[in-house]
């Protein structure tokens, strides 16, 4: 049961368990949302995030997808 209208999504980028930054996206890039949407990866290029944060090439990181909630339905 949804209580809020989704206005977009954001992807958290973490390195060694520490939140490095986020990216805003309009549509989900995976089926699962929340804690179970975790994807482990190694950066094959530099990844630029919001607020000028960068994950350098070759760094091991993981991502999680969360919804941005808007107006109450």
Summarize pLDDT for 7-56 with one digit per residue, the tens: 999 999 999 999 999 999 999 999 999 999 999 999 999 999 999 999 99
pLDDT grade, residue 71 (50/70/90)?
Answer: confident
The secondary structure of the chain as a DSSP string is ---EEEEEEEEEEEETTEEEEEEEESS-SSS--EEEEEEEEE-SS-EE-GGG-EEPTT-EEEEEEEEEEEEE-
Residue 46: predicted pLDDT? 97
């Amino acid at each position: 049961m949804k209580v809020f209208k989704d206005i977009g999504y954001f992807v958290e980028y973490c390195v060694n368990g520490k939140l490095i930054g986020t990216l805003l996206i309009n549509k989900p890039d995976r089926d699962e949302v929340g804690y179970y949407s975790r994807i482990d990866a190694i950066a094959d290029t530099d990844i630029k995030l919001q607020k000028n944060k960068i994950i350098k090439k070759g760094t091991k990181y993981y991502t999680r997808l969360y919804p941005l909630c808007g107006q109450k339905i």
